[in-house]
A and B are shown apart, each in its own frame.
Chain A
Amino acid sequence: MSGANRIAGQGRLTPARTARFTFDGKTFDALEGDTVASALLANGVHLVGRSFKYHRPRGILSAGPEEPNALVDVSRDAARRQPNVRAPVQEVFDGMKVESQNRWPSLAFDVGGVNNLLSPFFAAGFYYKTFMWPKAAWEKVYEPFIRRAAGLGVAPTEEDPDHYANRYAYCDVLIAGAGVAGLSAALAAAEAGARVILCDEQPEVGGALHYDTSVKIDGQNGYDWAQATAARLEAMENVTVLTRTTAFGYYNHNFVGLVERVTDHLTRPDRKLPRERLWQVRAKRVILATGSIERHMVFANNDRPGIMLASAARTYLNHFGVAVGRKVGVYTANDSAYEAAFDLKRAGVTIAAIVDNRDKPGEAVLAEARKLGIEVLTGHSVVDTKGKLRVSSMSVARNGGGSARAIPVDALLMSAGWTPSVHLFSQSRGKVAYDAASGRFLPGTYAQDCLSVGSCNGTDALQATIEESLAAGELMARATGNEGGGKVELSGENAFDWTGGMAGSGEGAGVDTTVKAFVDFQNDVCAKDIRLAVREGMHSIEHIKRFTTNGMATDQGKLSNIHGLAIASEVLNREIPKIGLTTFRAPYTPVTFGALISHSRGDLFDPARKTPMHAWEEAHGAVFEDVGNWKRAWYYPRAGETMHDAVNRECRTVRNTAGLFDASTLGKIEVVGPDAGTFMNLMYTNAWDTLKPGRCRYGIMLREDGFVYDDGVVGRLAEDRFHVTTTTGGAPRVMHHMEDYLQTEFPHLKVWLTSTTEQWAVIAVQGPKAREILEPLVEGIDISNEAFPHMSVREGKICGVPTRLFRMSFTGEAGYEVNVPADYGEAVWEAIWARAEPLGACAYGTETMHVLRAEKGYIIVGQDTDGTVTPHDASLSWAVSKKKTDFVGIRGLKRPDLVKEGRKQLVGLLTKDPKVVLEEGAQIVADPNEPKPMKMLGHVTSSYWSENCGRSIAMALVAGGQSRMGQTLYVPMPDRTIAVEVSDMVFIDKEGGRLNG
């Protein structure tokens, strides 16, 4: 048994296929293909949640993604849990656990329901006023309280064990929506030979044909025609049909985001399947066949469980075989609701009455009602309802006043007409236009290559929809160069054409009433709240929306927007288009983070760049640090060593013996061409034309404004070939900077740039024994001090493979940087290590590299400079050519502010107490006793314990620093003030004897 309200012979589900699930701990049976909503209704459960603000009992309002009430928590297991799932969308699978939300201790008895009694205090915009004082209480008291009290589901805490997939796709024609319109358009486009993607959010195609059983197409039952058409389309090679797939976002240039729900309906999904798949589709043309959404009626207490949209009740009956009640009332302003009554009546359900607020409903439906013996009360309205956890009666009164009579019902269906789904059209930046005759917004001005067809375009009649859609499909296929196929023809027939519709509040909920007539169910906004907003001075719909939160819930006002507008229009006495419609934003319905992230998680979240020597470093105990995307060996602790111990040992070893350092991540750019020297002269401050092949030079690159942009050592390999190095982090932007100038400012130069960062593995061998280590491994290069002095480069071989060998140093020791083609990096490193280790050398990491360079006063661009530092500020005037007449930044350097006295300049700092290590970033003052705010002179940029100096050392940017040598300054810290002496930046080997040894 899959529910007492299942009617034998109704619906399309197979009675033999059942699934079992729990709702708030109670077990229920469902049929395969049921949604949570249809299964609960089949079991007579209407109460499924509590409302957001007032905690009012709520039921199932719709049978689609517009559902504002029936939001539940669905879980497969502890980790696979999702809150705020729309019950009419989620399909049941065996073993599913469903929990209601926003209630405590239970759904039927909810303490928060007291909010409903206190509701006079929670009027629209209450939080803007009530909680304004005292200010400090907002963060600590009011906001946390409001967030606890209002709010729906609880976010899961466990890591999501599912995976998600992504596909980029292209097509000639993308069709969103596979109802009559979408299927017709797809058929015409596909037959013409177009590459077609057709998507629909429901598990099956068909759209309105799910409930509208009166439709016949080419003589076939409408729903069956839809399934057959989809099968025909799927069999075509040029067509992709995606069901359970929502087109959620329409972006620039016909780029549309679709999310396909792959496993959420499966009992035991194959682990290989992604839970969801994101489709990023670039379509040459788009056809929107998104249909329309039925509106509710706005009247007092229109939110009790059991009150729902008429088309939803029809869906539950005709597709799921479920009667939503046994004695059903209908309240409508539109003919379509009559057909729900007819279908239910024919299925054996009692129709208490059709209450139509119009004096003259459509004649055809009126005649049919009479034939079926259904009482129709025209010119009447439902003015109130009763029932605690489910509607038990409707109060009906003649329009314009008069006494109300209560009619017992156990379900109440309503329809105020249909709102075209222009969401995607609006997202495409199309402008909607108000059609006064039908009282609705329709696609007006198109901004992209798309067309709307069917009811989202305001086309109501079946045959007109078919013909419009076939024409659009063919037109879009032809427009994208497809010439195949003949004309597709289809003929449709249906029982009734629908008239009527209204927007705004109904009888008894109009101006001067204080009843709770809900406009926005999800955010608990009533008609009176909209009027309050207008009284408070909000006249634009954008202001009204934000003041009341109407339409701001996750359903984005699919039901409430038009009612809200109409109510505001009535009180403001201005036409609806003058008040304006808010813009629809993506996503159309909520999208999981998982789908948007897709593959970008775990190892694939971001590339982890590793050097060719990474495995060796790992095996030798290196601790790594992230530098951009690179993983760099930070230090190599030995057993029992702290980081401090390890760095001290590495620093001592390099200066006393030698060290190996992986410098592969340094950016490298090969600058080649007859004008290479000229180009280098323009890009760097130094003079390059005087640099001989085989020699190197430290270069500084400025931005146009004269500030230091990057630095690095450059080797000249030949007249027309330079090997440029950049900082690790600067590699890509320096390349772009150079390419940018080459293409825009110096296009006449015959020179080309190639990034070679990853072509070369770079092994720095530094220290007094560096030469001894390398000498036997190198072939074809005389590396004696005389033949190969500091700042030289040679090409030759090492360990039998080609090398570009640099004599250079970032430590102040005599040193080499061995460049070898990257695939040889590890083997060459190992060969060098095999020589180095017995001599007592060590491998060192970036931390030791930082200390050693600071001991020599070598700056790190980006650490000791911050984009406001000139070469002069950094004591690098020697690297700026005085003779050159042009280079990037030459004019910037002459700006008055860049040459004036008192600029912040880079200097050394020595703490008076040598044991104290300053904090990087700490501020520097002249007078620590000055009342706050003190005048700050600058800040510490680099600071280390220097084992080699036996004391702390630091570098700092200090106002007028170079004229403060020997002065005592102060670094105020929270717990003490540290006295420091200003010094130069070279703390070791000031004469450079070691470097050139």
Chain B
Amino acid sequence: MADHALRKAPLGRHHGGSAGARVTPAAPATRLSLRAGEDAIGTLSLAFGLELPRRPKTSASVSGRHALWLGPDEWLLIDENGADLMGIASGVSALHSATDVSHRNTAILVSGPDAAGAIASACPLDLGNAIFPVGAAARTVLGKIEVVLFRSGEEDYRVECWRSFSPYAFGLLVEGAEDAGL
């Protein structure tokens, strides 16, 4: 019996940004790519303990668990407390597909009064308050890569990307944060 292998996050202990926009790697989380038709939404919502959003660019959050709308039959579920989301999904008999993407994605947190400006250096989405309020989520691009952007607070954003793209995303956000603070 071997020792338990140690986990190593893709971004390690990076940190950066500016006084107005701090850029830090998020802690590990469990994630699910959840796919289901309209008729399974109710059952799945019950199982996950939050109402799966049905409108574009919206999300639902309950104590560290988030469901981000990515498409009419697609959600990204994130549990910051590391709950066994695959386990929950396997108990649901309504037709759906759940795939574990906990390690595929990693997240970068951008926080502070200049956070939106930092992201806008590389993301062509309108981040204005009326268009992208707290709770808004969207699959979009950051420079040359695809990301999922989630506004978790007034001045807090979570940028989800695939792990091998994370140093690139981090670098862009740090440069953006520096310029946004000028």
Contact = CB atoms under 8 A, between A and B. Distances in A.
Interface of A: 163, 165-170, 195, 272-274, 277, 280, 282, 599-600, 603-604, 606-612, 630, 670, 672-674, 750-752, 754-760, 776-777, 779, 798-801, 820-828, 831
Given A607-B165, A750-B95, A612 B179 contact: no
B178 interface: yes
A810 B106 CA distance: 30
A829 to B, nearest CB: 9
B135 interface: no
Contacts of B145: 607
Q: Tell me whether chain A's interface is mostly helix, strand or loop, or mixed.
A: mixed
Contact of A823 (B8, B122, B176): B8
Given A165-B121, A606-B144, A758-B163, A776 B8 contact: no
Contacts of A163: 175
A824 B5 contact: yes
B8 A612 contact: yes
Contacts of A799: 2-5
A607 B168 contact: yes
A758 B5 contact: no
Nearest to B163: A758
A603 B6 CA distance: 28
Contact of B128 (A170, A277, A800): A170
Contact of A754 (B97, B120, B164, B178): B97
Contact of B124 (A168, A821, A827, A828): A168
Contact of B126 (A274, A282, A756, A779): A282
Interface string B85-116: 00000000001011111111100000000000
Contacts of A798: 2, 5
Interface string B4-16: 1111111000000
A821 B131 CA distance: 36
Nearest to A629: B164
Given A273-B182, A604-B168, A822-B163, A779 B1 contact: yes
A758 B104 contact: yes
B139 to A, nearest CB: 13
* Among A599, A674, A820: residue with most chain B CB under 10 A: A599
Given A754-B33, A754-B99, A604 B171 contact: yes
Nearest to B169: A607
A756 B104 contact: yes
Nearest to B117: A167
Contacts of A272: 178, 182
B100 A759 contact: yes
B28 interface: yes
A166 B7 contact: no
B143 interface: yes
B179 A274 contact: yes
Interface in B1-41: 1-10, 28, 33, 35
Given A777-B2, A822-B163, A195 B168 contact: no
Contacts of A604: 143, 168, 171-172, 175
B77 interface: no
Given A604-B168, A756-B104, A165 B4 contact: no
6 contacts: A170-B131, A670-B99, A759-B100, A823-B7, A823-B9, A828-B5
A603 B172 CA distance: 10
Contacts of A599: 121-122, 143, 172, 175-176
A754 B35 contact: yes
Contact of A603 (B105, B121, B171): B171
A610 B165 CA distance: 8
B104 A757 contact: yes
A280 B122 CA distance: 10
B162 interface: yes
Given A779-B1, A801-B4, A756 B101 contact: yes
Contact of A821 (B103, B120, B123): B103
A163 B7 CA distance: 36
A821 B163 CA distance: 12
Contacts of B179: 165, 167, 274, 277
B99 A758 contact: no
A277 B105 CA distance: 31
Contacts of A776: 2
Contacts of B163: 612, 758, 822
Nearest to A761: B103
Nearest to A609: B164
B153 interface: no
B3 A824 contact: no
A821 B5 CA distance: 11
A777 B1 CA distance: 6
Contacts of B126: 170, 282
Nearest to B99: A754
A969 to B, nearest CB: 43
Given A757-B162, A824-B103, 5 more contacts: A599-B172, A758-B163, A759-B101, A800-B2, A824-B5
A282 B8 CA distance: 40
A674 B95 CA distance: 9
Contacts of A608: 167-168
Pick from A277, A599, A607, A751 the residue with the most CB of B within 10 Å.
A607
Given A195-B128, A672-B99, A757-B104, A801 B5 contact: yes
A740 to B, nearest CB: 15
A759 B6 contact: no
Contacts of B4: 799-801
Nearest to B74: A752
A674 B93 CA distance: 12
A987 to B, nearest CB: 35
A599 B177 CA distance: 12
Given A607-B168, A756-B99, A823 B28 contact: yes
A779 to B, nearest CB: 7
Max count, chain A CB within 10 A of own CB: residue among B9, B104, B144: B104
A365 B97 CA distance: 82
Ranked nearest first, the 7 interchain pairs of A and B with the lowest CB-CB distance are: A800-B4, A827-B5, A609-B164, A607-B168, A752-B35, A752-B97, A759-B104
